[in-house]
Amino acid sequence: MDEHTQQLIAQAYRKRLGVARLSKRFNVSKEDVVEALRINGLIQKYGPRPGSIINPEASAEIAAKVLELDALGWDVTEIVRELNISTSRAYYILVNNGVHRSKINEEKDEEEKAQIKELYAQGLDHYEIAEIVGVSRTTVRRRLAEMGVERRGTGLSNNPQSRRFKAILERNKKICEDAEVTPSARALGEKYNLSHERIKDILADNGVSLRIIKRARKAQQAQQEMKDGR
């Protein structure tokens, strides 16, 4: 696993994604995910994590602090860093005290929606917003629809700031062209310094399917082998 992928895994882990989801998202084994987290200092190889709860008194004290910080409006990431406890521990305390994950996720969604709405109001288009927020263009469209924001045309806006992002469109076009030659999201991600999930989003937004490309190449190879056999 390359260093860039390890850093992406660490970033996603800080956003409260578990090992199983990280393994599926980055198409690597759970052992590789754990090793990446160890390399980035997010978990220890042996023994409990720093701040692990050892006795009931300490547990009650930590729980009180978690609930106090949550009431002050702190998010889980901030609470974990402040109290030096694991994310799962913080969630356990919150969920068992009536603060459900759905509420936490809703708060995150609202922040994302507000950011998308603000950028859209500034004249940025879907491509630009997706790059800045770190989501797919489909997610940007869905968020705008959920907020009832009236959509502009799908092309680039006349905002001068938008012109700086034309390079993004050119890069995405090049990625789609390269996919015909190298139908591998991981290989394309390494070439363009993007996660393979982001590569898949870009290809999907442009109607390119790696699966179809691979099938077509296999069919061509099979036909060529039949010709060579004759």
Q: What is the pLDDT of residue 160?
A: 45
Report the alpha-carbon distance of residue 83 to residue 221 in Å, rounded.
58
Q: What is the pLDDT of residue 165?
A: 62
Report the alpha-carbon distance of residue 97 to residue 116 in Å, rounded.
32
State the pLDDT confidence band at 28, using cuts at 50, 70 and 90.
confident
Distant-in-sequence, close-in-space partners of 99: CB < 8 Å, separation ≥ 6: 67, 70
Mean pLDDT value across residues 14-24: 76
Helix or strand run (H / E) with residue 198:
helix 196-205
Mean pLDDT value across residues 114-123: 84
Mean pLDDT value across residues 54-62: 67
Which of the given ranges, 45-54, 94-103, 136-145, has the highest pLDDT on average? 136-145
The yes-or-no verdict on residue 50 having pLDDT over 80 is no
**Residue keyed to tokens 């006795």:** 55
The yes-or-no verdict on residue 35 having pLDDT over 50 is yes
Mean pLDDT value across residues 137-147: 85
Report the alpha-carbon distance of residue 159 to residue 63 in Å, rounded.
49
Q: What is the pLDDT of residue 52?
A: 43
Decide if 76 contacts 90 (C-beta within 8 A): yes
This model's pTM is above 0.85: no
Residue 116: count other Cβ atoms within 10 Å of its Cβ: 26
> Over the chain, what is the mean pLDDT?
76
Q: What is the pLDDT of residues 206-230, one digit of tens each?
A: 888 888 888 888 888 888 878 776 5
Report the alpha-carbon distance of residue 201 to residue 142 in Å, rounded.
14
Report the alpha-carbon distance of residue 74 to residue 114 in Å, rounded.
18
Decide if 70 contacts 94 (C-beta within 8 A): yes
Q: What is the pLDDT of residue 220?
A: 81
Report the alpha-carbon distance of residue 32 to residue 6 in Å, rounded.
9
